[in-house]
Structure 1
Amino acid sequence: MDLLALADFNLVARHGGFGRAARTAERPKATLSRRVAELEASLGVRLFERGSHSLKLTQEGRALFERTDTLLTELGEATSAVAAGGATPQGRLRISAPMLFSQMALGKLSAQFALRHRQVRLEITTEDRPVDMIEEGYDLVIRVNPDPDEQLIGRVLLRDHLVAVASPTLRKPPQGAAVPAIVRASSGQTRWDLLTKQGARAMEIDPVLRLASLVMIRDAARSGIGAAVLPFSLVAGDLQAGRLVHWGEMRLPPIEIWALYPSRRLLSARVSAFLEFLKAAFPNGTPEELAAYAQD
């Protein structure tokens, strides 16, 4: 495929017409039209529907534009950086991150990053679902215990663990009795397998509240309505202040927060800069670091 023709097609698609693209790029309109026609001929499909006063992408044209626009932008940035002898982070940086991590840290982190890198336009969306980075146009995703994906590579940012906590006013139930519990709305748990100072203990639970977010669960646990299992980083301040007490640790693998990006794309200067910024914010990747950062 002719990369120059593909670049001209993306230029026209981005500006919505041959005339606007030609004026922006200061190139002849006829040259752009010829290049796009040659690309259509080589692919055997129409990329634009041409009307007397309008130009509209076909379904095939839209698919080609969505899949190649970011790639060509990054290729241009890479060649410019090499020619200039260095890489300056610039352009839009689109990130997807989980709800809790965003609430605890990303407000401050994003502002500090933006102050340091004025040429980067940072955009962070918050969602816990597994997004499709390529299809949805993300440069970086932050995920909790992600499933293996051959198309993605990344690094662990933080490790955390789950602890059972409760208000000091809530007494532990005797062995075999169920404890009133606050759980996630989607949880089907009926017991907690804990590791306490006295050893392993299976604790039956009676869900008295089902809530959508971990922050809501923590706030409800403070009131004494029930016990809850939460990430240590979220409740470290409450444990230290005595608002909550520690009942034990869940006997589960650690929580890992990963930063992921596509292995088949160039790692842009702006993504590299954000990754290094996260590494500096959490140098050891401990839950205590996240807890301290969130309480600053």
Structure 2
Amino acid sequence: MDINALKDFHLIAASGGIGAASRASGKPKATLSRRLTDLEEALGVRLIERGGQRLHITEAGERLLSHTVGAIRDIDEAVESAREASASPSGWLRIAAPLLFSQLALGQLLAAFRRRYPRIHVEVISENRMSDLVDEHFDVAIRINPHKNSTLVGRQFARDKLALVAVPTLEMPPGDAQNAPEIPAIVMSTYSDGEVWTVQGGKLHFAPQPVMRLSSLLTVRDATLAGAGAAMLPQSIVSQQLEKGELVCWGEADILTELWVLHTSRRLQSPKVKAFVEFICEQYPTGWFAV
């Protein structure tokens, strides 16, 4: 099978037609059409129905696409890796990152990263959503407590703890494993009614009564500092306030927050991706995230 013909078939399918594929790639329409015909003749099946206003991929074409997309991606990565193997890391590195990590740490990290690798340019998209690295053309993603995903690999580079905090003037009610007293609480917009906050190894339980629902952890912290209620927050963003006595800790949650740097390659990493993964892991030698 002609690999170039297979790649052009993927290009035509992704673009929505031969004309659109020609405009996107700069390849002549005649070349794309010929390679598609050659591929169909080699396989003995029709892959795309011609004519009409819309592209129609046949059932055989859909099967071929689904079974070869990973192989095409691996080939492209292998070619890129071979080309870049003898060169220092360079090019644009596109990163998807959660908003809080971007606000707290990413700016300084990237400045230091570029001092080490001046030929790498960086683009960061900071959003609190699950980006698709392949479809959205990201090289790496920084994720918090990522779900297991066979298409992504990477390394955990830091951890954080959640702490239940409040101002010193807000009295902590007594409680134990059987009793969960109600407390005025500032929660994130993702909070589910009926949740119980458990701290100190399961010894203390509290029933949050939301007085504010906010979409930013930093806003939650500021409202907590202003005395609006208690909040469950990452220790990294309240450590300074705890040291100064502006906040007090009612207990730490047992669940750890893990920060991971992920990418799509299972076997091959481009030099720029490898450089970034190794760099960000170096920045947290203790394994704990600190601002």
TM-score tier (shorter): 0.7 to 0.9
Aligned counterparts, 1:128-277, within 5 A = 128-175=128-175, 177-188=181-192, 189-195=194-200, 200-250=203-253, 252-264=254-266, 266-277=268-279
Contact kept in structure 2, 1:190 and 1:206, CA below 8 Å: no
Give structure 1 stretches of 5+ with no counterpart. Answer: 23-27, 51-55, 292-296
* Aligned match of 1:53: none
Contact kept in structure 1, 2:22 and 2:32, CA below 8 Å: no
Once the two structures are superposed, residues 200-253 of structure 1 have per-residue CA deviations (whole angstroms, 9 ceiling, x without a partner) of 222232211111121111111010110111111111121122221211112x32
Deviation at 1:254, TM superposition (A): 1.3
Contact kept in structure 1, 2:153 and 2:266, CA below 8 Å: no
Once the two structures are superposed, residues 139-168 of structure 1 have per-residue CA deviations (whole angstroms, 9 ceiling, x without a partner) of 222211122222322211111111011122
Q: Which amino acid aligns with 2:92?
A: R
Query: Could you say what the CA RMSD is over the residues aligned between the two structures, in angstroms?
Result: 3.8
CA distance in 1, matches of 2:203, 2:115: 48
* Aligned match of 1:285: 287
TM-score normalised according to structure 1 size: 0.75
- Structure 1's 8 and 87: CA in aligned 2 closer, same or farther, altered over 3 A? farther
Q: Which amino acid aligns with 1:217?
A: V
1:112 is paired with a residue whose SS is helix
- Structure 1's 74 and 119: CA in aligned 2 closer, same or farther, altered over 3 A? farther
- Structure 1's 125 and 221: CA in aligned 2 closer, same or farther, altered over 3 A? same
Contact kept in structure 2, 1:99 and 1:128, CA below 8 Å: yes
- Structure 1's 208 and 5: CA in aligned 2 closer, same or farther, altered over 3 A? same
Deviation at 1:178, TM superposition (A): 2.1
CA distance in 2, matches of 1:192, 1:112: 38
